[in-house]
Amino acid sequence: MKFSNTYIGLGEHFFQRVLPQKVPAPQLLLWNVELANSLFIANKWQSDAQLLSQYFSGNNLPNGAESIALAYSGHQFGHFNPQLGDGRAHLLGEVLDKSNIRRDVQLKGSGQTAFSRRGDGKCALAPALREYIMSEALYALGVPTSRCLAVVSTGEKINRGLAKAGAVVTRVAASHIRVGTFQYFAARGDLLSLKKLLNYSIERHFPQLNNEKSSDEQRLLSFLEKVMAKQIILIIEWLRVGFIHGVMNTDNTAICGETIDFGPCAMMGDYDENAVFSSIDEYGRYAFSNQGKIAQWNMARLADCLLPLLIGFIKDTTKENDNDENDSEQALEQQALTKIEELIHQYTTKFDEAYYVMYANKIGMNESCSVSKTLVDGLLAIMQKQSLDYTHTFHQLTQSLTDSEQAEQLKSVLGGWYATWLSALKQVDVKPKQNTIQIAQALMAKNNPVVIPRNHHVEAILTRCEEAIATDVQQLSPFDTINSIVGEFLRVLHSPYHELDGTEKYQDAPADGNSCYQTFCGT
């Protein structure tokens, strides 16, 4: 791996230099070969499990790595905390992948930092495995996400109410710059650092904005617009597959538009727009249907941070124009606020457009129109009222176009909606001699998975892994033991739009409809 760390160039107050805490007996449990290959990790490394366990537990650092913990703030369930930061994570550095995209490589659960806030800095085995499984599932489903390179057990017992096996998970992301990173410097009135962060973020994620003809003002507004667009794409993809993040705090909102932090996440079974599974989301702030609104709220918090910079850029432009009668300070501030607010207010229209296009695709229609919107709203209302399984219903709809038995079942469940939908599909305007039903089914098959990482299967596998690692006498190595438990599940999840041998084993809905299911933060 050829490490660099461009983030360090921003200055010492952006991070803390700190080494991971050494662990007594690291053992490699999961290794992502496909991701490793994309990061140019040498084959001789990948064949040495002992070497990998040392590097990705934090006991040794790879050549070129410089371990740091990142500083950031965040709104947690609406309440602002001015200093959060990586309390149990260490960024080793950055590598270029095969697509020439710069990726962060970060250890999580690797010990305390200055930002630990009395936490132990550790991660239990089950949350580490959950992050690996869920991030790989989302990646295969086509959802923007960070990914996991490795899970290493540490040989420690950590206190989570009960003694739990410890582990370190290696996370790979386009970056770990968050809305909370901007908030950290905005809260301190540090406009110089804020400007550095803005320029760095543009250079790393949106270099096309560095146009010589663009003013600082235009670059800032375009940056906010592009970050907002990435958030819309992300949330729409979550909704498409029934993913509920569970803790959409601003410190968990990456400006690169990837899913990060898989602690309290869950998948929706029976459709419920108010579905919440996180044990700490007492008031449903991050419920399934609220995720779009919360993303807008988070973007508004990013806009708050950028507003002082925008005011400064407008002032500079005014001075350059050398107007005799400069606008008053208050007028310039209002001008900046108006421009920011116009962008944030555009979110609702853009989100709604993307929302209805996504659901139109799920019911086999290429674009959103009044007919498709009516059909979508009607179907979701039926699903809500009858508590229909989200994934099963859309998969059955897809199959029903060529399976008469499935069609008859759905007619009895969906009533007149089914006939109205079928009629609408047949009236879609397509090129001559093309079968509209076949076109619709192909579109639906791309957007409606046949299998998702259902909560009860994830929990059952995590429990089996915990029990296996806790067993003193093992016939297999820890790596072989864990892979024997999760291997088939991961193989099925890597092909979520196709039925494989074994897919059916993981398609069943839970007997209780997830009515008692809860998820918890890894801390």
Buried b (16+ CB within 10 A) or exposed e, 337-371: eebbeebbeebeeebeebbbbbbbbbbbbeebeeb
Q: Give the three-class secondary structure for 324.
A: coil
* Calpha distance 285→294 (Å, rounded): 8
Buried b (16+ CB within 10 A) or exposed e, 15-43: bbebebbebeebbbbbbbeebbebbebee
As given in the structure block, the two tokens for residue 439 are 């076109």
The 10 Å Cβ neighbour count of residue 218 is: 13
- With residues binned 3-state (H G I as helix, E B as strand, rest as coil), the percentages for the chain, rounded to 5, are 50, 15, 35
> CA torsion sign, 116 to 117 to 122 to 126?
negative
Owner of token pair 């259902």: 454
Owner of token pair 């132990």: 120
Report strand pairing: 266-267 vs 27-31: unpaired
Which DSSP letter does residue 248 get?
A: -
Residues 406 and 400: beta-carbon distance below 8 Å: yes
In degrees and rounded to multiples of 5, residue 113 shows phi and psi of: -135, -175
Beta bridge partner(s), residue 94: 4, 104
Can 251 be counted among the known catalytic residues? yes
DSSP string over 402-442 = T-HHHHHHHHHHHTHHHHHHHHHHHT----TT--HHHHHHH
CA distances from 362 to 401, 430, 466 (A): 13, 18, 37
Buried b (16+ CB within 10 A) or exposed e, 307-335: bbbbbbbbbeeeeeeeeeeeeeeeebbeb
Report strand pairing: 68-70 vs 79-81: unpaired
Which DSSP letter does residue 278 get?
A: B
Q: Which of 104, 120, 251, 389 is catalytic?
A: 251
- Annotated catalytic sites, by residue? 251
